[in-house]
A = this chain, B = another copy of it.
Amino acid sequence: MEESYAPATGRTLQTNDSVTLEDVARLAGVTAMTVSRTLKRPELVREETRLRVMDAVRATGYVPNLLAGALATNKSHLIALLLPTIATSIFTDMVQTMMSTLAAAGYQTLLGLTDYLKEREEQLVETLLGRRPDAIVLTGTDHSPLTRERLRRTKVPIVEIWDLTDDPIDMLIGFSHEAVGIAVARHLLQKDYRRFAVLSADDPRGLRRSTSFIDELKRQGIESVPMEVLPAPATLQTGREGFVRLLEKDLPDVIVCSTDTLAQGILAEAAKRGIGIPQDVAVMGFGDLSTAAHVHPSLSTVRIDGASIGRLAAEALVSRLNAKEPPLPALRVDTGFRIVDRESA
């Protein structure tokens, strides 16, 4: 018997350095099963054996193989998060909060970056599904048909965040980008601005905010609104360039930016050219509550609360994963936004 175990290395042996439950068990003089229980459900094991096992665990430096565990239980404790990019500060707060909330509940995050490309998202969904995540978080609500189909068929809980829609795949937590555009338009009109310009990154949601803003202005009788669109992700540099291009046209009263980073770029270029913000031209940004450029005194912004989105999404998932049978009524949350005026008048 011993013989058939020890030299049972007809294969590689050097599988790695991995210590297995078996190894620990042998050292502790028990079965693998007892070691497993000691680690997962210690209350089911007599104290004496438990201590012996724990010693053996330490002595061997055993690290449980989560792959094997996941395969056996059909629970990976992995959450897939699909994000356009981390090259912009807009998502960072949400990601941090979501990851730490999930981590606290015992879940790890598998990150996929789509670069705002639907085809990339499609491919990532396939790969990530292969890891059998316990849930999937998608940024935005606009996905390729194949992606939607794959995701709909899956029983894996899905959360779409950062946007709203009438036809979510499953759960939904976000805010309306159309509403942002409209609110900004009304806010600025009320402040007596009349000559507008728009600087937008060409990501889908930024564009929707921008066009919604322009549409609302039209409805209010403002016909001509110059708009510059620059490639995503937005950077300080593209903000500066966009500002330069806008300057080639008439100088407006106020420039509305699809995101804070662009607004900061404008501030930088304006400083260089001696253009006063907000005296010569006012600037409006858009960004996260905690990391946003609203801390620049001369900038007005739309603030969204990314941390809330992250926390809500994580909590919704965790409770759904813990819940046994009833697949709770689908969650839909509008997290809203707030317009904040600049500090200096």
Contacts and interface: CB of A to CB of B under 8 A. Distances in A.
A236 interface: yes
A22 interface: no
Contacts of A129: 63
A85 interface: yes
B272 A343 contact: yes
A87 B76 contact: no
A328 B85 CA distance: 34
A131 B108 CA distance: 10
Nearest to A127: B108
A96 interface: yes
A17 B67 contact: no
A74 B15 contact: yes
Interface stretch (A30-38, A159-167, A251-259, A295-303): A295-303
A261 B240 CA distance: 18
A96 B92 contact: no
Contacts of A156: 16
B113 A155 contact: no
B113 A100 contact: yes
Given A15-B74, A68-B71, A272 B297 contact: yes
Nearest to A113: B99
How many identical chains are in the complex?
A: 2
A71 B67 contact: yes
Given A132-B66, A290-B235, A96 B85 contact: yes
Interface string A47-86: 0000000000000010111111011001010000000011
B100 A96 contact: no
Contacts of A111: 99, 109, 111
Contacts of A131: 66-67, 108
A65 B250 CA distance: 58
A138 to B, nearest CB: 17
A235 B85 contact: no
Contacts of A113: 96, 99-100
Nearest to A130: B66
Interface in A118-163: 126-132, 150, 153-156
User: Chain B CB within 10 Å — which of A63, A64, A95, A267 has the most?
Assistant: A63
Interface string A5-20: 0000000000111100
A67 B76 contact: yes
A212 interface: no
Please list the 8 inter-chain residue pairs (A to B) with the smallest Cβ-Cβ separation, ordered nearest first.
Answer: A272-B297, A66-B130, A236-B295, A268-B296, A63-B129, A237-B295, A67-B71, A87-B92
Interface of A: 15-18, 61, 63-68, 70-71, 74, 76, 85-87, 89, 92-93, 95-96, 99-100, 108-113, 126-132, 150, 153-156, 235-237, 240, 264-265, 267-269, 271-272, 290-291, 293, 295-298, 343-344
19 contacts: A16-B156, A61-B150, A63-B130, A65-B130, A66-B131, A86-B92, A87-B92, A108-B110, A108-B128, A109-B110, A111-B111, A235-B290, A235-B291, A236-B291, A236-B293, A236-B295, A237-B295, A269-B297, A272-B297
